[in-house]
Amino acid sequence: MFAVIKTGGKQYRVAANDTITIASLEGEAGSSVTFGEVLLFTDGDATQVGAPLLSGISVTGEIVSHGRDKKVIAFKKRRRQNSRRKRGHRQHHTVVRITGIDAGAKSAKG
How buried is residue 64: exposed, middle or buried, by Cβ count under 10 Å (0-12/13-18/19+)? middle
How far is residue 53's CA from residue 23's CA, in Å, rounded to a whole number?
A: 20
Q: Are 96 and 20 in contact (CB under 8 A)?
A: yes
Domain positions in the chain are 2-109
The string of pLDDT tens digits covering residues 6-50 is 999 999 999 999 999 999 999 999 999 999 999 999 988 889 998
DSSP symbol at 105 = T
Q: Are 94 and 24 in contact (CB under 8 A)?
A: yes
The string of pLDDT tens digits covering residues 44-80 is 888 999 899 999 999 999 999 999 999 999 999 999 9
